[in-house]
């Protein structure tokens, strides 16, 4: 569960620093979901940073799945929809 710790914006900031594209959103169950694409080393760096999270956060677990690339994606954004 994530509440008021800025995890989505932390994710966007870190992804942008690494030149990744994709998105992050809150889920209905209170967790955060993200999809990122870029070089494998940069994805690994983002994953490592998300395992720590922003100050005041506690990350219990991170799940990683490989998915097909999204052609034409140009930025990393916060999505407002929830699943």
What is the set of active-site residues?
Answer: 8, 26
The secondary structure of the chain as a DSSP string is ---SS-HHHHHHHHHHHTT-EEEEEE-TTS-EEEEEES-HHHHHHHHHHHHH-STT--------------TT---EEE-----
């Amino acid at each position: 569960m994530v509440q008021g710790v800025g995890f989505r914006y932390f994710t966007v900031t870190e992804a942008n620093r690494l030149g990744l594209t994709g998105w992050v959103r809150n889920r209905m169950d209170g967790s955060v979901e993200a999809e990122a694409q870029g070089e494998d080393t940069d994805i690994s760096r983002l994953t490592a940073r998300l395992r720590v999270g922003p100050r005041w956060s506690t990350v219990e677990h991170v799940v990683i799945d490989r998915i097909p690339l999204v052609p034409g994606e140009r930025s990393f954004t916060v999505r407002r929809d929830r699943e």
